[in-house]
Amino acid sequence: MDYSAVVKEKTLYVNSSILAEKSSFFYKLFSNGMKESKMAHITVRITASEEAPFMELLKFMYNNSLYVTSPPRLLDILMAADKFGVASCMIYCIRVLLNIPMTPEFASLYLDLPYSVLMTEFVWPLVVAAKKYLVARYKDVTKHQEELMRLPLAGIMALLSSDELQVASEDVLYEFVLMWARTQYPSLEERREILRAKLIPFIRFPYMTFRKLKMVQSCNEFENEVTSKLVLDAMYFKAEAPQQKRILAAESASTTRFFIERSYKYRPIKVVEFEHPQQQCVVYLDLRREECANLFPSGQVCSRPFHLGGHVFFLSAHCNMDPQSSYHCFGLCFGMYENDSTNCGVDYEFEVRSRPTLEYICKFKGNFIFTGGREAVGFKNFFSTPWTSFMAEDNLYFIDDVLHLKVDLTVRN
């Protein structure tokens, strides 16, 4: 049978005017004609764990201050203030908490508050600060895996919701999520529920590779009907026209951000392959203006690996110093990952889409023989112009703030 037991009773003498002024709960209790408003003695029922924070809350309503400095205790008082409608105390607690140096433990505590408290406008500055701290600290997920394995669920969810994670690809983030879930939830049944309800919505499946999407479908830690829909949605997105992709991304911006691309270390590319009459591929790399701006003064962004003629290649865009003119400029190259002794001759052609025709125009073409090791060939000053001119608003190569690059590669036998 369900029952409740009264552990103890405590009698307090209070000023009803002070409590009604500070608390919406007590205002209603003392002034709206309820039977309690006419009684000399009223009873407020709370749990044993709420007693200490409730007493601190009463003190605050008289003194407008707290002598508590511990974040866990302040959070207890914050929840009591929310329950009894003491907005001034909530604001006070948030202000104190924001002045306490953030740690991973504190950030996780803040993000793990009850949903009703998290949705309160007074709490949002604390939520935002906690998320920013975790993303800034763990932006490169692969560098902090051991520490992240101990991070609670609320912290992991905050990380996954960010667009700024510096992971190689969504494939890597997917594997990290599985590893974390297996560490935290040894029970397969419990792990499936956590993945389905809490973590899967934050994985950007449309930006995973086809190979990894196939593996998702066969993973026994996901329910088939869930993964089938996610994989189909991802496949359809990959096949959509760019304009429709932008629409889908905008629609998901305020929810799970499922269709929004993160700041991947290895940029997604589109590859069109041909086996006959020659082994050839056409690689498309699009860079947003803000991504290009972030390359200055010595940054680099690499594409995901792609295969051609049994070899693995990549594209690399970077900002560097022109050796002849001594100014910063935009560079572009392609290279080979492998370290073998097999010679590989490649014909190449670099192109970029330009206004006003919006057609691709050839910038450079030639050939190169790879002889083993990680080699690259390209152009340090791709546009033969200083960085400031390259980033100018009237640059003909930025179309709707996107730079469209294309590289045509053919392996010569």
Q: What is the pLDDT of residues 273-304, one digit of tens each?
A: 998 888 999 999 999 999 899 899 998 999 98
Q: What is the pLDDT of residues 49-67, one digit of tens each?
A: 999 999 999 999 999 999 9
Does the pLDDT value for residue 124 go beyond 80? yes
**Token pair 């050939």: residue:** 367
pLDDT at site 34:
53
Give the pLDDT mean for 227-256. Answer: 87
What pTM was estimated for this model as a whole? 0.72
Residues 6+ apart with CB under 8 A from 122: 87, 90, 91, 94
Spatial distance between the Cα atoms of 287 and 318, rounded to a whole number of angstroms: 11
Q: Copy the structure tokens of residue 150.
A: 């101990």
Spatial distance between the Cα atoms of 181 and 177, rounded to a whole number of angstroms: 6
Q: Copy the structure tokens of residue 228.
A: 């089938």
Phi-psi region of 372 (alpha: psi -120 to 50; beta: other; left: phi over 0): left
Hey, how many other C-beta atoms are within 10 angstroms of the C-beta on 246? Answer: 13
Give the pLDDT mean for 240-268. Answer: 85
Q: Is 48 exposed, middle or buried (0-12, 13-18, 19+ CB in 10 A)?
A: exposed
- Among candidate residues 349, 364, 271, 277, the one with its CA nearest the CA of residue 312: 271
Residue 1 pLDDT level (bands cut at 50, 70, 90): very low
Give the lowest-confidence range in 280-289, 315-324, 355-364.
Answer: 315-324
Does the pLDDT value for residue 211 go beyond 90? no
As a whole number of Å, the CA-based R_g of the chain is 29
Hey, how many other C-beta atoms are within 10 angstroms of the C-beta on 243? Answer: 8
Residue 180 pLDDT level (bands cut at 50, 70, 90): very high
Helical axes 224-239 vs 210-217, angle rounded to 10° = 160
Does the pLDDT value for residue 201 go beyond 70? yes
